[in-house]
Structure 1
Amino acid sequence: MLAEMDRTGAFRRDTIVIQTSAGTGWITDWSVCAYEFLTGGNCATVSMQYSYLPSAVSYVMDRDSPILASRELIEAVLGRIDQMPADDRPKVYVAGESLGGYGIAASFDDLDDLLTRTDGAVFSGSPRFTRLVRELTAARDAGTPERLPVVDGGRHVRFVAHPDHLRRNHSGVNYPHRWRHPRAVIAQHASDPIVWWNLRLVWQRPDWLTEPGSRGVRAPRGQRLDVVHGMRWVPFITAWQVGLDQLTSLHVPGGHGHNYHDEMLWYWDAVLGDHAAVRMTDEIASRAREFIVTDSVRR
C-alpha cells in the first residue's frame, strides 16, 4: 500500500484522506468527490478492502475487521508522514460512512486522540455501536438532544443532520464556542435506521423518541429533524420496525435515510476550512452538485 502511494505520488499531494470502506470495498462517491472538488484535485484518497462480505453481513457477523484494517492503514500512513520534514507534510483527514465510519472512529482512543493525530474528520451514518459516537453522545452538553448532541459547546466536533447544523445547534441557536480546527463532523439523519438501531430498543425507550420532533413534542421553528411524528416506542415492536427499515434505508432521496449526498460538500468545506482551494457558496454548491451527479452516473 505504501509502495503504491509512493508510485502514484500520493505523499506529494497537499491533502491525504484516509477512508475505511464499507462491506466489500465501497466508499461513498459523494464524500470523495466533495473534497476532490474543494481541494482542486490536490489530494489523495487511501483506502483498503477489509472483507469480501456485503455490509449487511459484516454488520452482524464481523465487527472486528473494519477496526483492524483501519488501524493498520492509519498507522502505516501516519508513520510514513512522521518521517517527512515537518514543513513539507500533507494535511491528513479521516472519513468513513456506515461501517467505514465505525472502523475509523474505533482506531482512535478518544476525541482528543483523533484531533491530535489528524487535521479533521467527517463521519456519516455510523452505526449505534460506534464507540466514539456513543461516548460523545453520552457526554453531551446538558439539555441537548441525543439526536443532535452538542459537545463542549461545539468547540471541535459538531453533530449534524443538515448543513444548517454546522452553524447552529438543534434549536437554531448559534453555538456558544467558535469552531476551532481540527474539526470533526458527525452526520446522522434522524431517519437513518443504521444510526438508531440497537438491541436496547427491544426493552428500553431511547431518548431520541421523547425529544423535540417526536410524538406529541413540537419541534422548534425552523428545525430540520426529518422525524415521523407518529412514531412511538413499543417493546420489541419498535426494534423490529427500525431493524426492517435498514433494508430500505438507501431507497430514499439524498439527505434522508442512509443517503448522505450533496450535504457532504458543506461538511468537507467546514472541515477543510482555509485549506480548501474553493470555498463553498450556494451557487458553487448547485454547480458542483450537477458535476458530482453526472460524474457518479458516468462511473
Structure 2
Amino acid sequence: MSGDRARRPRVATVAAWTAGLTCVGTPWPLPPPAAVRLTAGLLAALTAWLAVRAAGSLAVLAGDVLRGWTPRARPVVAAVLLLLLAGCGAGPQPGAGVASAGAGDVADVASLSAGESGALRVRVGLDGAATDVGRAQSAVRGLESAGGLARSTVLVAVPTGSGWVDEAALAAVEDLAGGDVVTVTVEYADRPSWAEYLLGGQRATRSAGAVVAAVRERLAAVPPGARPRLLVFGESLGAGALAAALPAAGPVDGCLLAGRPGSGGEPAVPGCTEVRNPDDPVAWWGPGLLVAPRAGLPWLPVSTFWQVTGALLPAMDQPAGHGHRYGRALAPAWAQLLGAAAR
C-alpha cells in the first residue's frame, strides 16, 4: 500500500507534464498569444494533476470501505471532485416557453433607425417594459408605427447578452433585399454573453420566444397577399436562444443561426440554416471537452478543453468568416434564405 501511495504523486506529475506539453505544443483552433498558450498549458497541467490525485484518493477510499475502515476526509473530498468532473458534460440547459404579460406592461418605447439601403430597424431596450412579453409587444407597436408592415420582409434579430447585434450581418441582408426589410431587436439583458450562457440562457430564450410569437401573431392579421415574410436571425448566444425558443414560438419563413455556442459536431437545428466557422472556438467550447471528444474536433483529454478555452480570447479579433466573426460572410446564406422564403 505504501508503495502505491508513493507512486501516485509520480503518476500525477507525469500526467500533468503530458497534459501541459500537449496543450502548448499541439495545434489550436486559433493561434493565441504566447502568454495565453502558456497559461492554458499550466491550467491543463494543474487539472490533470488534480484529477489523477483525486482518482488515487478515491481508490484509497474504496479500499478502506471494503476493509471496513472509516473513510477519511481527503478521499471523500476527492470523490466529490471526480463526480463534479464527470458531470461537467452537462452544459447549461436553456429554458423554453413564453411568459405572459401583465396588465399595463406595454409601453411605446421602441426606437427607430435607418439601416443601409433604406431599411428600417426597430429596437426596444431592456427598460422598454417590465417583462419579455411587454418588450415584445412594444416592438410590435414600433414595427407598426414605423410602417414596417408594408415591407416585404420582417427580420427578428436576437441580440447577445449585452444587446449587441452584428451590424455587418444586418447590412448584408438589407443589401440583398434592396432595403425592403425591417429588423426588430429586443434587449433582454445588459451583461456579457458568457455570463448569460453560464447562467443557463433562460432569459435569452424567453425573450426570443416572446418576440417571435408576438411578431407572428401581428403578421397573421395582415391579409395573405400583403403579408411580409418573417425571418429570424441569431448569432452567438442569440443563435442558441432562437434554437431553444422556436419550437414553442411557432414556424417562421426562414431562420439563420451563426456561431451557435456548443454546436460543433452537432446536427443543424431543424428548419434553420446554420453557419459555423470551422475555427470558431465558441461553437466547440463546453466543459464536457475535459473528459469527452466531440465529432469533428481533434481531441486530447484535458488539453483540448484548455486550448479551446484559450482560443476564446482572440476569437473576435479575426476577419469575417474566421473565429467568432461572421458579418458579411453570411451573405451567401442570406441569399439562399431570401430565395427560399420568396418561393
TM-score with structure 1 setting the length: 0.63
Equivalent position to 1:81, from 182, 203, 219: 219
Corresponding position: 1:251 with 2:320: no
Residue 34 of structure 1: SS of its match in structure 2? helix
Runs of 4+ in 1 over 3 A off after TM superposition: 133-137
* Counterpart-to-counterpart distance in 2, 1:54 and 1:261: 19
Preserved contact between residue 254 and residue 262 of structure 1 (Cα < 8 Å) = yes
Aligned partner letter, 2:281? P
Residue in structure 2 matched with residue 126 of structure 1 by the alignment:
260
The amino acid across from 1:26 in the alignment is W
Structure 1 residues 16 and 237 mapped into 2: Cα distance closer, same or farther (>3 Å)? same
Measured at CA, do residues 108 and 134 of structure 1 come closer, stay the same or move farther in structure 2, by a change above 3 Å?
Answer: farther
Which protein shows a greater Rg?
2
Equivalent position of 1:205 in the other structure: 293
Q: Quote the Cα distance in structure 1 between the aligned partners of 2:160 and 2:168.
A: 14
2:172 to 16, 29, 34: 34
Could you report, residue by residue, the CA deviation over 1:117-171 in whole angstroms, capped at 9, with x for unpaired residues?
21111110001169xx94548xxxxxxxxxxxxxxxxxxx7xxxxxxxxxxxxxx
CA distance in 1, matches of 2:267, 2:330: 24
Contact map agreement 1:18 1:74 (CA 8 A) in 2: yes
Whether the aligned pair in 2 keeps the contact of 1:19 and 1:104 (CA below 8 Å) is no
Between the aligned partners of 1:256 and 1:202, the Cα distance in structure 2 is 24
Match for residue 283 of structure 1? none
Instruction: Check whether the contact 1:129–1:198 (CA below 8 A) recurs between aligned residues.
Output: no
Structure 2: which 5+ runs fail to align? Answer: 1-138
Alpha-carbon distance in structure 1 between the residues aligned to 2:290 and 2:169: 33
Q: 1:49 and 2:187 equivalent?
A: yes
The 2-side partners of 1:253 and 1:201 are apart by: 26
SS at match of 1:18: strand
C-alpha separation between the residues in 2 aligned to 1:85 and 1:187?
33
Superposed CA deviations along residues 26-70 of structure 1, whole A, max 9, x for unmatched, are 111122101111111111001101101111221222411110000
The residue aligned with 2:63 is none
* Structure 2 residue 277 is the aligned partner of structure 1 residue 189: yes
Post-superposition offset of 1:109: 2.2
Q: What is the deviation of 1:106?
A: 1.0
Distance 1:207 1:14 in 2: 40
Partner AA of 1:233 in structure 2: W
2:243 to 99, 105, 108: 105
Q: Is the 8 A contact 2:254 2:341 kept in 1?
A: no
Aligned residue number for residue 307 of structure 2? 241
Aligned to 2:18: none
Q: For the Cα contact (< 8 Å) 1:93–1:120, is it kept in 2? A: yes
**Distance in 2 between residues matched to 1:125 and 1:16, nearest whole Å:** 22
SS at match of 1:109: helix
The answer (yes or no) to whether the contact 1:184–1:271 under 8 Å persists in 2 is no
The one-letter amino acid of 1:254's match is A
Instruction: Give the Cα–Cα distance (whole angstroms) in 2 for the partners of residues 184 and 207 of structure 1.
Output: 20
Question: Which runs of structure 2 are paired with 1:120-199 in the superposition (5 Å)?
Answer: 120-128=254-262, 134=266, 136=268, 184-199=272-287
> Alignment identity in percent?
28
Q: Does 1:64 align with 2:187?
A: no
What is the one-letter code of the residue matched to 2:339? G
Contact 2:154 2:230 in 1 (8 A): yes
* C-alpha separation in 2, matches of 1:6 and 1:108: 23
* Partner in structure 1 of residue 142 of structure 2: 4
User: Matched residue pairs, number?
Assistant: 204
In proportion to residue count, which structure has more helix? 2
TM-score, normalised via structure 2 length? 0.56
